[in-house]
Amino acid sequence: MWYNINKMQNNKQTVSQPVANPAYKMPGKETIAEAIVALASKEPEKKWERKILINSSISCYGFSSKELNDKSCESLSTKLKSLTGVVINELLADSVLALDDDGDISLKIVPITSKEITELFIKKFLTEDEAKDSRPDGKKNVLKAVLGQIIKRKTEDDSILRQGAKVVIEIEDELVKNDKIKKLILASESAYPNTPVGKLLKLSNDNYKAYHSGKVKLPAYETALQRLVTSCISEAGGEFFELLSMKLFRTVYGSSVVKDELTAGPDDNGIDGILTVKDGLGFLDTVFFQSKTKLRTVAYVSIKVVREFLGVVTAYRASKGILISNANFARETKLFASRAPNLMLVDNQQLFTLMKEYEVGLVKEGDTYVIDDMMFLDGV
């Protein structure tokens, strides 16, 4: 499947994320994708709220309610939620799932033709130059021939294609096992998967190599790095950003954190995470945070969002509230927040600065930083 990835073969340092409980084994992205599609297929016309689809999918992975009860940063439940969110974004990018104007998710059941399937995999597996190559033994024609055989073998009347884009997963399973495809196309694939996040990480790695070789100056490299890491957050999804935010705040507060919980869910009241922090005298502070992920990093978080968040912080008598985003805050929003002594806004520039300072999502490499590839690819 498109989720398979080789070890990184570049100059960059990667950091493996800690495993809180080695007794359990995280499911692979293929398993998660199959569970999501199977769940959505039971009611093909149903539109799912994202958080409900994630929670319902997690219940299908074979873990007990006791194993999923822990909501702390490094817990099984939290990692599964983040990884499931990443996979949902990849299924949306591959047109297996569809997103409506209200943000609800459904199985894409619009009939798909053999031609559309072929075009999808040409775009997925080939570069622009390879897609233009019409030689009989070129990658494009080999891919088209193998796909044609798979589609024909599946059905003579194209009935399976009427199921919609979910059939893409089944076809891809067969495609990547084909000897010709493995030898001609997959063997030469980049170490990065052909997903939205994978493409951004590859570009970031190419930029780092250009900087390392002296072709790009440090300021230009770090400007591009900030843009790419905030875009990676957008593509990885809100659940991943909630986990990254918690990891970041836990690192910032250090050993003073006595308890943490990721609370985001259908009834979270706008609170994504809670930290309980103890000062030197033993006093406890409750810190709420909300992570706002914007698909366009040049977008602005509205003042309405900040007002509502402050209202929840006040209503639940939290000591502090942090609203963190990979986008920006308008001037009036910042002015409003400045009048609330227990409220802090963290925009994409401050986020980038904190990620560098505390090396969460970014890793020091020489005199600069690189993206922690495995954290984004694994979603944890």
Domains and CATH numbers, the chain: 114-194 (no CATH), 198-378 (3.40.1350.10)
**Does the pLDDT at position 193 exceed 50?**
yes
Q: Report the pLDDT value the prediction gives residue 12, as an integer from 0 to 100.
A: 38
Q: Average pLDDT of the chain?
A: 85
Position 266 confidence tier, pLDDT thresholds 50, 70, 90: low
Pick the closest to residue 139 from 150, 128, 149 (CA basis). 128
Per-residue pLDDT averaged across 131-148, rounded?
A: 90
Q: Report the pLDDT value the prediction gives residue 380, as an integer from 0 to 100.
A: 78
Q: Which two tokens stand for residue 313?
A: 């912080």
- Among 37-46, 156-165, 166-175, top mean pLDDT goes to 37-46
Q: Is 309 exposed, middle or buried (0-12, 13-18, 19+ CB in 10 A)?
A: buried
Task: List % helix, strand, coil for the chain (3-state, nearest 5).
Answer: 50, 15, 35
Distance CA 38, CA 172 (A): 16
3-state SS record for 217-276: CHHHHHHHHHHHHHHHHHHHCHHHHHHHHHHHHHHHHHHHEEEEEECCCCCCCCCCEEEE
Q: Could you give the 3-state DSSP secondary structure of residue 366?
A: coil
Q: Is 262 exposed, middle or buried (0-12, 13-18, 19+ CB in 10 A)?
A: buried
Residue 227 near residue 371, CB atoms below 8 Å: no
Distance CA 320, CA 310 (A): 9
Q: Report the pLDDT value the prediction gives residue 189, as an integer from 0 to 100.
A: 58
Position 110 confidence tier, pLDDT thresholds 50, 70, 90: low
Distance CA 368, CA 123 (A): 34
Per-residue pLDDT averaged across 329-353, rounded?
A: 94
